[in-house]
Amino acid sequence: MSFTNWKTDRIEAILPEEFFKLMNEVFICTSDVNLASQRIALKHNFKQEGILRDEFRNCDGELQNSVYFGLLKSEYK
């Protein structure tokens, strides 16, 4: 199983309808350079909520942006 498939399986596992009984929205946060994670979020109908500029430092000490995706209860399947 590839790492991308593993992440897809995890998203599918944590998004049962029971989860939305507790929350109205689920968020995914990823680095702006992590295109694979962004594709997975979009594949599961998450919408891009916004970009926080220079939000964190990577392992090289460089500032990087974070991209936030959200999925509302009303948008789930």
Convert the pLDDT of each residue in 25-38 to its tens digit.
888 999 999 999 99
Confidence of residue 18 (pLDDT cuts 50, 70, 90): low
Burial level of 67, CB count in 10 A (0-12/13-18/19+)?
buried
Beta carbons within 10 angstroms of residue 3's beta carbon: 8
> Which domains does the chain carry?
3-75 (3.40.630.30)
Closest CA to 72 of 9, 34, 31, 19: 19
pTM of the model: 0.76
